[in-house]
A = this chain, B = another copy of it.
């Protein structure tokens, strides 16, 4: 392997470009934080994957905490499941959830980032704010009826829980389960949470 840089296919040390370098660091940070969590990912590790030194990270982002905040914000901005038709929302949510929590799937999701960083109180605070800023409001708008905010966050709870059990813990029954069965169950759950009146 190359001794200095290994950020891309070419071993060229990349032309000096502040914006591009910053972007490379941020991308690398999202990957590292998603894989190892806030505490588990080191600044040196993030920097190396971006082809720079650790100090440059702090020069661009101030501190690890601020880097994390930007990484979370970017990760949560990614368009998850925003099906337009409210009637098809439960089915779309369930289908996407089953597909993306497959243990063999490519791992890169704001929910994984959340779950892997939940142990750190400061990281939890940052993520709560990011949820309120992006996902929460967006999902709440798709739900009709009273208590839409509460039900939106319950939907997020179910999504996060399934991601934990199926993708991170890799629990046996959920790992071996038939995707069609899972989809059916989860669609029913989502329908309950998306309907206007609980009665």
Contacts and interface: CB of A to CB of B under 8 A. Distances in A.
Given A160-B161, A168-B124, A185 B193 contact: yes
Given A192-B185, A193-B185, A153 B165 contact: yes
Interface of A is mostly: helix
Contacts of A161: 156-162, 164
A188 interface: yes
A198 interface: yes
A114 to B, nearest CB: 8
6 closest residue pairs by CB, A with B: A161-B161, A37-B119, A157-B161, A149-B173, A116-B119, A157-B165
Interface of A: 36-37, 39-40, 114-120, 124, 127-128, 131-132, 136, 140, 147, 149-154, 156-162, 164-166, 168-174, 177, 181-182, 184-186, 188-189, 192-193, 198
